[in-house]
Amino acid sequence: MRKYDLKKEAEKLLTPNIVNMISLIHEYKGKQTLYIESKKEILTSLLNIAKIQSSEYSNKIEGIKTTDNRIKEIINNKLEPKNRNEEEIAGYRDVLELIHGNYENISITPNIILQLHKNLYKYSTASYAGKYKSSDNIIEEVNENGDKVIRFKPVSAFETPRSIEELCNSYNEELLKEEIDPLLLIPIFILDFLSIHPFIDGNGRMSRLLTLLLLYKSGYIVGKYISIEKIIENTKESYYDALKKSSIKWHENKNNYNYFVEYYLGIIVRAYKDFSNRVEYITNKKLCVKDRVRIIIEKQVSKITKKEIVEICPDISEGSIERALTQLLKEGKILKISGGCMTSYISNNK
């Protein structure tokens, strides 16, 4: 039977790469405090964008979608959901807002996890909302031949309540001792949660909401301003690969958490880098729109879309950004990579 000993698992993970990432996140956390104190107006605009992106992309990972216009209206409480997809997006929005505003008062217990799951289906008639699975489930994937194969078999429905309780107890116990860095405990908790797979539906979305809750409670609130869910969706192949590798022999307590922990820490580092860059972009208002857009494109490791530029600079209208892109293309400063509605741009100086 699976045992939940987060301290034992965390102590195996102090590799040079993981230690370096943790140190880097600690540095970003220090800068985070300065930004929050001095850039309140900017952070409000980033908060609104992240809220929309988090609700959109966390659901998108599960194939739950609606139009860009409707999702913005739903997240801003200007439209009522009209179908199951929109009901689940609205439910995610509500749980996200609850965590944003009350994370300090939300404890990590089985009852809280059940309540958050119930809230996730607030606009749905799903009978399983706020209840553990009543029958065993499996995690499937499609192989290269197009056939469904079992990737992982979670704990049984019978073992699920005990497993969640032991997982929460182990996490809270180690957090209270303050001997293990929370940045190690959090991804271990999330991998175990996903491996237990306690619900019939909503396990992935719950894992991302719990990620934010655990990070916020430990002082890492970057997810309020940069959508961690979007970063995960953009790297979902790496996410699923790390999850798969780290869940091998999980039932026997012989799995290797390293793959998943490295992936998760990398996501947090990326979020903090994006946070720093966006604050810099928005505060650099003395530059003309064209130069701001040019700098954004030049600093990208890969291509960037117009939609992403608009999200980075919420103080600039979409029309102004469109004109800046046209000018930069004429001057040969950037290159356009055609892709229909997903047309993107790269710097021509690299």
Give rounded-to-5 percent helix, strand, coil for the chain.
Answer: 65, 5, 30
Q: Of the candidates 343, 96, 141, 109, which has an alpha carbon nearest to the alpha carbon of residue 241? A: 141
Round the average pLDDT of the chain to a whole number and report it: 91
The predicted-structure confidence for 31-44, as pLDDT tens digits, reads as follows 887 777 666 777 88
- The whole-number pLDDT of residue 22 equals 97
Q: Using DSSP, state whether 334 is helix, strand or coil.
A: strand
- State the pLDDT at residue 312: 80
Domains contained in the chain, CATH given: 6-281 (1.10.3290.10), 286-347 (1.10.10.10)
What pLDDT, on the 0 to 100 scale, is given for residue 145?
A: 75
- Using the 8-state DSSP alphabet, how is residue 138 labeled? -
Secondary structure of residue 164 in the 3-state scheme: helix
Q: What is the reported pLDDT for 222?
A: 94
Question: Cα–Cα distances in Å, from 91 out to 223, 237, 344?
Answer: 18, 26, 32
Mean pLDDT by 10 residues, the chain (350 residues): 92 95 94 74 81 92 89 89 93 96 97 98 94 92 77 94 97 96 98 97 97 97 94 94 96 96 97 85 76 87 84 82 93 85 81
Q: pLDDT tens-digit profile of 55-91? A: 999 999 999 989 888 998 999 888 899 999 999 999 9
